[in-house]
Structures are given as C-alpha cells and as structure tokens.
C-alpha cells in the first residue's frame, strides 16, 4: 500500500509551511558579510586616512607660510615723548614740549632674496618629502596586502593538508581495527594529524596578524573584519640592473637632498649678507615751547665688532654636510639597489625551479607513495613522509613568490616610481 496516498493534501501543505518557517527562523535576519577590498581601494584609503599623510601636509602648509613671512616687510615704529620745559635763565613759566618720531627698517635686496630663497627651498624640500611619504606608504601597503594574500594561500594549503591527514587517519584507524596494520601506524597518523591541526591554528593567527598590520597602515576607517581580493603579480618583471641604475639620479630621496642643499646655500648667503643687513629711515618732529624742529635721518649698522664669523662658519659647515649626505645617499641607493636586485634574481630563479620541476616531482612522488600505500606495498611512514615533503615544497614555493614580489617592491621604493601596477 502506498503510504503517500493516505496523507491528505492539507497535511502536506502544513508540513511544507512548517519546514519553510523553521528554515527562516534558523537564518539571521541581516547578512553581515565582511567587506572585500582590492589593492587599489586599500591604497586610495591609505593615502587619505594614514596619519603620516596629514603630518606631511601640515609641514607643507608651514613651509608655504614661511614664504609669506620672507616676503613681508618690517613694521614701522612710532615713538612719542613729552614733558615739561624749564628755563635756566630769565623769567618764564614752565611749558611742555613733545617729540614724535617714525622709523622704518629696510632690508637690502640681497638679504631679502636670500631669505625668500630659503623659504622657497623649504617648500620644495617638504614637497619632495610628501612624495617620498606617498611612495613609501604605497610600497608598505602593497607589501602588507600581498602578505595577507600569501598567508591566506598558506592557510588554504595547510587546511587541505589537515583535512587530508584526517582522512588518512580514519583509514589507518580502520585498518588497525581490522588488524591489517600495526598499532604504531595509528600513533604516527595521530601525531601527524595533531601537528597539522597545530599548523592550521597558527596559520589562522598569522592571517589575523597580517590583516591587523594592513589595517594599521590604512587607517581607522577600515573595518576590523574585512577580506582582500587579488593575486601576487607574478607576470611582471624588472628590466636589467643597468637600466635601473640609470634611474637613481631621479630618485625622490636624492631630490630631497638637492632641495636641502639649495636651502643650505641660501642660508650661507643670508648669513654673509646679514653682516650689513640694511638701513633704517627715520623722521620726526620736535616741539619746544618756542621752536618747532623737523628731523629726517638715516641709521646704518657698522659691522665693527661682530661680523657674524660664527654664523657664517656654521652655515658653511652645513653646506659641506649636505654635500656629504648627498654622496652618501647616492652610494647607499646604489648599494641597496644592487642587493635588492640580487634578491629579485634569486627569488625569480627559485620560482622558476619550483614551476619547472620541483612541484611536479614532489607531486609525482606523493602519488606513487599514496598508490603504494593503498596497495599495501609501502607503510604509512613512507606515505606521510611523501606528504610532508610535498607540503614543504608548496610552502617554499609560496615563500619564493612572496620574496619575488617583495624584492620588486623594495626597488620600487628606492627608485620612486611604480613598477608593480595595481590595476
């Protein structure tokens, strides 16, 4: 007898409604999926929200304000005095007199030009500083972003290994229970499974740490729970080392030192010109009880006792220091560029070695060991060793890919132009 024919349609309808209602109650009312960011979105947010950007912007504003200060003229001074007059001879009443004077300091043109040049050089210096800050911030954000991608890939690899080892452990347990395998194989499988679980939990922590570091670079507006999308730019490569060294002279770090050198030169000229900085125009009226006098004068300082020898020597030493810093910075850039390029070549060769043979070889060894274990030709130890070797090779492959990208990011930071395109 067919049971379904005895169930009334109304009962089927009620059961369907009850089932749908139960499913709805088991689901959350609102979906709270984590936002997903691309690399370009993360960089755009960081260039606006990172506190270092605001610090450099404030420094630029202050430098621009110094230009206004350098172009300003000194304010005039008004002097007023008054008091009684008493005659020493002859009769007369005490009368008051007064004096009004006006002074206007004037700087010579070479002093004003040097002061203005210092201010304008500072504007250029902090402008390059803002450019360097953006370059370094972009490079740090890129590296942190790619670090999240690399650790997430490692987490997926470790998770697959954990699941596979759990399956192997269940098969080993079954074979031990039926007496086909010795007990020590189950102990070995349990050990490997616990180790895989430990590695899985550690990989989760490393992903959380990398995301927290990326969030700290971007700013407070980025939520704590987020995901990233993208992949390591393995298809991009660098030109030869000679072509890269030709770009060192255009590095923003050297531009910054050149701007500092211009400031130091202008400071030296200013100190030299301040030995005789300018003059002061004076005008006044003196009113005696019976006499009115008009005065027009000129005051010029005489550099007799203080010719600013100390200030000039200090400014000259600062010029020499900046020149030495430029040479040192240029040598350091060349040295760091060579080192980063060597790391790039090593990582590139490692990635090529993995992709051309090591990955395939380790996978083949694993498949052979797995087949031999299934057919009873090899024990669990050989299979687990092959599985461990394959896991290590894949981890090393992920590390080599990240080193490849990191070396290019370091060269990008040193030279100051974008090598790894974000789009």
- Cβ atoms of 125 and 256 within 8 Å: the answer is yes
Q: Average pLDDT of 99-114?
A: 90
Q: What is the mean pLDDT of residues 173-185?
A: 78
Three-state secondary-structure class, residue 339: helix
CA–CA separation, 190 and 227 (whole Å): 33
Alpha helices in 2-82 (DSSP H): 9-26, 39-49, 51-71
Lowest mean pLDDT among 13-17, 164-168, 204-208: 13-17
Per cent of the chain over pLDDT 70 is 90
- Kindly state the percentage of the chain with pLDDT values over 90: 40
The predicted pLDDT at position 364 comes to 87
CA-to-CA distance for 251 and 338, rounded, in angstroms? 15
Residue 363 confidence (pLDDT): 84
| pLDDT score recorded for residue 64 | 93
| pLDDT at residue 403, rounded to an integer | 93
Any domain includes 400: yes
Instruction: Kindly write down the DSSP assignment for every residue of 185-236, as one continuous string.
Output: HHHHHHHHHHHHHHHHHHHHHHHHHHHHHHHHHH-TTS-SS-EE-----TT-
Residue 367 lies in a domain: yes
Q: Is the pLDDT of residue 312 over 50?
A: yes
In this structure, are residues 409 and 139 in contact, taking their beta carbons and an 8 Å threshold? Answer: yes
pLDDT for res 94: 63
Q: Is residue 298 part of a domain?
A: no
Is 11 domain-assigned? Answer: no
Q: What is the pLDDT of residue 3?
A: 38
CATH code, 337? 1.20.1600.10
pLDDT of 93:
60
Residue 352 lies in a domain: yes
- Cβ of 279: how many Cβ atoms within 10 Å? 15
Q: Is 79 helix (H, G, I), strand (E, B) or coil?
A: strand
Rounded Cα distance, 149 and 348, in Å: 19
Check residue 4 and report its DSSP letter.
G
DSSP letter at 357 equals: I
pLDDT at 13: 44
At 332 the three-state DSSP class reads helix
Per the CB < 8 A criterion, the answer to whether 67 and 123 are in contact is: yes
Please give the average per-residue pLDDT across 137-142, as a whole number. Answer: 92
Q: What are 376-405's pLDDT values in tens digits?
A: 777 777 777 888 888 889 889 999 999 999
The phi-psi region of residue 241 (left if phi > 0; otherwise alpha if psi is between -120 and 50; otherwise beta) is alpha
DSSP sequence for 111-160: HHHHHHHHHHHHHHHHHHHHHHHHHHHHHHHHHHHHHHHHHHHHHHHHHH
Question: Is the residue at 351 inside a domain?
Answer: yes
Asked if residue 409 is part of any domain, the answer here is: yes
Distance, in Å, from the CA atom of 70 to the CA atom of 141, rounded to the nearest integer, reads 38
Domain region containing 246: 40-75+108-275+309-415
User: How confident is residue 31, by pLDDT bands cut at 50, 70 and 90?
Assistant: very low
Residues 56-94: pLDDT tens digits?
A: 999 999 999 999 998 888 899 999 988 777 766 655 566
Name residues whose C-beta falls within 8 Å of residue 263's C-beta, 6 or more positions apart in sequence: 118, 121, 122, 125
pTM value is 0.78
Residue 6 pLDDT: 43
Q: Decide if pLDDT at 209 tops 90.
A: yes
- The 10s digit of each residue's pLDDT in 224-242 is 788 988 888 888 888 889 9
DSSP one-letter code for 291? -
420, part of any domain: no
Please check whether residue 161 is in contact with residue 389, taking contact to mean a CB–CB distance below 8 angstroms: no
220 token code pair: 């407070």
State the DSSP H helix or E strand holding residue 283, giving kind and residue range, or none if neither.
strand 278-287
Give the count of domains, the chain: 1
pLDDT of residue 333: 93
Q: Phi, psi (5° rounding) for residue 98?
A: -150, 160
Helix (H) or strand (E) holding 325: helix 309-353
Indicate the burial class of 124 (C-beta count within 10 angstroms; 0-12, 13-18, 19 or more).
Answer: middle
């Amino acid at each position: 007898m067919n049971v379904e024919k005895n169930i009334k349609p109304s009962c089927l309808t009620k059961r369907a409604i009850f089932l749908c209602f139960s499913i709805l109650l088991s689901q959350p009312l609102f979906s709270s999926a984590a936002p997903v960011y691309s690399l370009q979105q993360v960089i755009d947010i960081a260039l606006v929200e990172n506190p270092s950007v605001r610090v450099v912007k404030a420094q630029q504003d202050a430098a621009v304000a110094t230009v206004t200060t350098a172009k300003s003229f000194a304010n005039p001074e008004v002097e007023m005095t008054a008091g009684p007059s008493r005659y020493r001879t002859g009769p007369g009443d005490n009368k008051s007199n007064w004096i009004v004077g006006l002074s206007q300091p004037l700087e010579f043109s070479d002093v004003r030009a040097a002061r203005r040049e210092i201010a304008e050089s500072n504007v250029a210096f902090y402008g390059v500083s803002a450019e360097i800050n953006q370059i370094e911030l972009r490079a740090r954000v890129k590296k942190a972003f790619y670090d999240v991608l690399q650790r997430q890939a490692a987490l997926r690899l470790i998770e697959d290994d954990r699941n596979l080892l759990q399956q192997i452990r269940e098969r080993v347990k079954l074979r031990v229970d039926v007496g086909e395998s010795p007990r020590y194989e189950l102990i070995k499988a349990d050990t490997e499974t616990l180790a895989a679980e430990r590695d899985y939990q550690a990989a989760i922590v490393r992903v959380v740490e990398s995301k927290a570091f990326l969030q700290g670079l971007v700013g407070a507006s980025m939520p704590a729970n987020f995901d990233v999308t993208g992949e390591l730019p393995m298809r991009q490569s660098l030109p030869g080392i000679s072509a890269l060294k030709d770009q060192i002279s255009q590095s923003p770090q050297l531009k910054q030192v050149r701007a500092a050198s211009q400031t130091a030169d202008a400071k030296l000229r200013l100190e030299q010109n301040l030995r005789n900085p300018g003059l002061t125009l004076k005008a006044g009226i003196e009113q005696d009880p019976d006499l009115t006098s008009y005065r027009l004068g000129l005051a010029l300082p005489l550099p007799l006792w203080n010719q600013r020898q100390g200030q000039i020597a200090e400014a000259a030493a600062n010029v020499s220091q900046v020149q030495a810093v430029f040479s040192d910075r240029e040598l350091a850039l060349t040295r760091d560029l060579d080192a980063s390029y060597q790391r790039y070549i090593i990582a590139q060769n490692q990635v090529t070695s993995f992709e051309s043979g090591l990955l395939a070889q380790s996978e083949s060894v694993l498949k052979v060991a797995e087949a031999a274990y299934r057919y009873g030709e090899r024990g669990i130890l050989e299979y687990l060793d092959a599985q461990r070797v394959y896991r290590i090779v894949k981890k090393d492959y992920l590390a080599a890919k990240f080193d490849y990208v990191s070396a290019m990011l370091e060269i990008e930071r040193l030279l100051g132009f974008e090598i790894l395109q974000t789009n």
